[in-house]
Amino acid sequence: MSRTARFLRSLILLPATAVLIVSCDFGEAFAATDAAVARFHELFNDDQFATIYGESTSAFKGSASEQNLVKLLEAVKRKIGKVQSTSRQNVNVFSSTNGTTISATYMTKYEGAKATESFRFMLDAKKALLVGYNVSSLDLIVN
């Protein structure tokens, strides 16, 4: 095979290899995100709000005190109840030299309402650690 042919072949194989590597990272990120959201909901349903705080990143802890998170999650649970089911709507994975960050949106059915939940995670050794959380439901405001 000529030098030019080998060079052209490497140009074709390089992007294909990169796609395979990225796909593996996305697959791991999706699995880690789904596992972290399931853990969050399990702890939420069991009133383990302080554990949610304890398992989050330092960035999350820097944005809210444990006491304020507990108050917020108690209010959510009091107003719309326990989580019954959830489905992933959207996931964005951002990889850089600083690590992998995942933003995910879930449609969640609670006992008394439906809500949109937004999570932000930092991927650390195939485990997604909470960086940010937001829950949005009209029932949280009017009830």
The pTM (predicted TM-score) of the whole model is 0.81
The domain made up of 3-142 is a member of CATH 3.20.20.140 = no
Whole-angstrom Cα distance, residue 119 to residue 93? 12
Q: pLDDT tens digit string along 6-36?
A: 544 555 544 444 443 444 467 888 999 999 9
Whole-angstrom Cα distance, residue 45 to residue 80? 12
Dihedral, 30, 35, 38, 43 alpha carbons, nearest 10: -140
- Dmax over CA atoms of the chain, in Å, equals 73
Encode burial over 7-35: b for 16+ CB neighbours within 10 A, e otherwise. Answer: eeeeeeeeeeeeeeeeeeeeeebbebbbe
Q: What is the sign of the dihedral through the CA atoms of 54, 56, 62 and 68? A: negative
Q: Are 135 and 76 in contact (CB under 8 A)?
A: yes
Please report the pLDDT score of residue 25 as a whole number.
67
Q: pLDDT tens digit string along 45-86?
A: 999 999 999 999 999 999 999 999 999 999 999 999 999 999
Q: pLDDT tens digit string along 104-133?
A: 999 999 999 999 999 999 998 889 999 999
Give the residue extent of every domain in the chain. 3-142
